[in-house]
Amino acid sequence: MTNDDTPDVDTARDAGPRPETQVVRVGRDANSSALSVPIWATTTFVADSVDEGRRMATSTTSSTFYSRYGNPTINAFEDAIAELEGAEAARAFASGMGAVSAVVLGLCSKGDHIVTQRQLYAGSQLLFQAVCPRFGIDVTFVDATDAVAWQEAVQPGRTVLVFAETPANPRLDLVDLDRLATLKGPMKVVDATFATPLGQRTLDHGVDLVLHSATKAIGGHNDVSLGVVAGSRELIDWIWGFAVLQGANAGPFDAAGGLKGLRTLGVRLAHQSASAQALATRLSGDPRVEAVRYPFLASHPQHDLARRQLRHGGGLLTFDVVGGLDAGRRFVESTELCQLATSLGGPETLVTHPASTTHVGLLPEELEAAGIGPGTIRMSIGLEDPDDVAHDVLAALGRAAGEPS
């Protein structure tokens, strides 16, 4: 939401706490009088009786049976995400891909059909194009930005799942969630990692499930590995049953780190979004850059949708360096403040060359379909002073272009 759209104080109070306030308070039911979440560093718990053990072994909400089923610290993180997303329940995993694979393989069976997009995190794409066929699950890929293509790809009576990612990795393409929710028949799942629960209230648009790689901005400090999916109690219970067998459950230390990250998510996102927009604006007129993608830039092809669907532009931006692969490599290898690493959402500004890292497993035609060129750079803006980041980026562009230092 932009400053122009911010309601006055009285209106905000009438509507309840703002998300930036809510994120500080959620997930505290198990805290007792402690401000910081207690870490239940145990795998198993003692039952009072056989009947109590049986009840816990068959309950999707038990937190004191066995930590693959549930754990008070992990459940607190799940409750926090569910509340932020306006969901009935949530399930945490050891990684974002743990969440993605549990949703896909937990909801789909042999003979089912999935519709997803070409603009995807490469791990998700490889799951869809390499793993799903082994289980007899057919997948159709469409252009994420084409609402009609989504509709036309759905096969009535056979399409079980529609899986979207918005904003998409790495070029920040958007999926119109209101249009997606109107698809009749299949369950609609959205990976909203780049937006976070503070940037996009995904379920409010009418889709069924929202998931995040909480390793990224939710954790926010590059020190936890977490995934989470939120939605109705019925769907989460179904996924929970598969997840217990899958075993990719979150650990209590990472869950506690996720809760700690949530407390500062609002202020981090405010700083990172402002810094990313300022840098994106600056790069837009730089002759050493072919194109810049940032949702809140007027030049973004889905700028109007971004303003309608997102509360902030986010801390990520993507641009293409003039000179292709060699220039892209020189750029990421010559930054000094910005570090070459593949994650995002943390306090350090990171630069990534997707074609050789995050999306290296894709064929040339698949990279082209995803809009990833040899000179494409993805940046995750951190918490440094934005002028220092800009100075480093502009200097690295000069070195990439062979300019005298």
191 as an active site residue: the answer is yes
Q: Are 221 and 257 contacting, i.e. CB atoms less than 8 angstroms apart? A: yes
Which entry of 191, 208, 254, 392 is annotated as an active-site residue?
A: 191
Residue 325 to residue 356: CA distance in whole angstroms:
10
φ, ψ (nearest 5 deg) of residue 91 = -135, 130
Which entry of 171, 188, 201, 216 is annotated as an active-site residue?
A: 216
* End-to-end Cα separation, the chain, in angstroms: 40
Which entry of 69, 79, 118, 121 is annotated as an active-site residue?
A: 121
φ, ψ (nearest 5 deg) of residue 295 = -55, -35
- Tokens 């990172």 — which residue? 272
Amino acid at 162: V
Residue 149 to residue 250: CA distance in whole angstroms:
36
Burial class (CB in 10 A: 0-12, 13-18, 19+), 16: exposed
Which entry of 18, 28, 68, 233 is annotated as an active-site residue?
A: 68
φ, ψ (nearest 5 deg) of residue 378 = -110, 135
121 as an active site residue: the answer is yes
69 as an active site residue: the answer is no
Q: Are 76 and 221 contacting, i.e. CB atoms less than 8 angstroms apart? A: no
91 as an active site residue: the answer is no
The secondary structure of residue 312, as a DSSP letter, is S
Please give the positions annotated as active site. 68, 121, 191, 216
